[in-house]
Structure 1
Amino acid sequence: MKNGTPGSHYLPLTSVSSGKGAEVRPDVYAFTTQIVNVVMVGAPNTLNWVLVDAGMPKSDDNIMDAIEERFGFPAPPRAIVLTHGHFDHVGALSVLASRWDVPVYAHELEMPYLTGTRAYPEPDPLVEGGLAAKLSAFFPNEPVDLTGRVKPLPADGTVPEMPGWRWIHTPGHTLGHVSLFREEDRTLIAGDAFVTVRQDKLYQVLTQHLEISGPPRYYTPDWIAAKESVRRLEALKPAAAVTGHGHPVAGRELTEGLAELARDFDRLAVPDHGKYVDGE
């Protein structure tokens, strides 16, 4: 618990995609804050929308600007849904949730990390990977405290305020990690169950070089569960996906890349060494 509280300080990490957005579906918009994506689910210029994840620390102003551009005014969402609670997905959460006074939803197993009672396992800067992995030693791992505001996702798999979507438990990267899927058009919001950039390599992060990859190596403590989660998502045969890091991907590039990752996960995703691989 030595790395600080999410949202408490700005981290000087960025990419060429920072401040840019991409419309994945007419009602699904991915916006990049530095190195991570937040997703706005809802048609433009509407009051009926949901924010998925909450970006990097100190990114609330950038997110608000993107919301105003997308919806025509700074419309509050009906809810905030979290794929998980790592610092780069909840960095602006306390500020935004307080400003909007809206409910926050996450998997029941994420509750300790969202109510200030338990810190995540520390990142592993010695894991196999590039410079970004080494920098993870400076990433915060302490929990946010949203007691009284955060609620568990419904046990029946539905997603509040997101009709037609269901949540899927995809642990490995965290205990309570979830991905969101809409069967109608096979749209997937994957969080960090898999990503489309090698998040441990700084050059790829900066340039956002597209590569369907496993979850960030320096911050994934359970590789057996992570493999099963990727296989579960691949079995859905998604047609388009937004991941927590990297560009949205669709069509053949997604189908073939995700199939290869699921088939050869141990070689492509699992690092050769690291404390969560070696069981230290």
Structure 2
Amino acid sequence: IIRHGEELVVAEGGKGGRGNMAFATHKNPAPDYAENGDPGVQRRILVELKVLADVGLIGYPSVGKSTLISVVSNARPKIAEYPFTTLQPNLGMVQVGDQSFVIADLPGLIENAHLGLGLGIRFLKHIERCRVFLHVIDLTREDPYQDYLKINHELRMYDPRLLDRPQLVVLNKIDMPETEEKVTQLKEKISAPMQIISAHQRKDIDKLLYKTLEMLKNAPNIIDEIDEDIKVYQLEPEEKPYIITKTEDGFNLSGDKLKLIFERTDFTKDEAVKRFARQLRSLGVDEELRSLGVKNGDIITIFDYEFEFID
């Protein structure tokens, strides 16, 4: 489901049974039994939510993504100095002048996240619908450039098309000592658009937001690919409506069509039971049982019930 108001039927209800008037006859104009409805489809469904955000914050854990989203929006994520503080995406609405966009603080990536390490796929599935990425880099880490390469590698391994999305590199924690040299090196090695900030001190946050807004204006809309199953219809021979198996006590009856008739029958009503017996005869069950040597008084097991064969 990718559009507002879209519906998807994952488990259909069973066909309703016929009421008693459907079995009315001249002899019995008001029968006291009706037909049970068919059982519905039963499934165990896993539903995954992918966040709908214009901008996604990506980067290693604890590089300042949660601090940044708390500064630029109304989101209030949990912030602490240890990895994986953000366990679920946090959404915030960012107002820039008279314009706005939705930003998502996504759980941090680590190396081999595409294989499920760290929060792995739980993170990566959420970035698929973001039109612009803010790639946050912590200038206090030992090798920020390698961090940049590894995060992009994880995106490529998960879905190469993610690298085609506009990406703004955000160099965070410029307020910390010994970061100027790293900034110079990163500018030489990274050709992507870049913005230097201090989320903690709110330095140059406005510049970051206006750059992001400009990138959003030029970013293409996400086109969702829908897998359309092609159904192939072919004529198949009709299956036998029942299967008879010899047992120690008598005979066992099974089969899909037989089960359908069985489940539609209300066995608390004598007339319904008689109708069930007539349906078995019309299918040829009685005749085949006789050919297999059934005797008067033998037990015929049909799913949950046992019947005595009376010839």
Bucket of the pairwise TM-score, normalised by the shorter protein = under 0.3
TM-score with structure 1 length normalisation? 0.25
TM-score with structure 2 length normalisation? 0.23
Q: Which has the larger radius of gyration?
A: 2
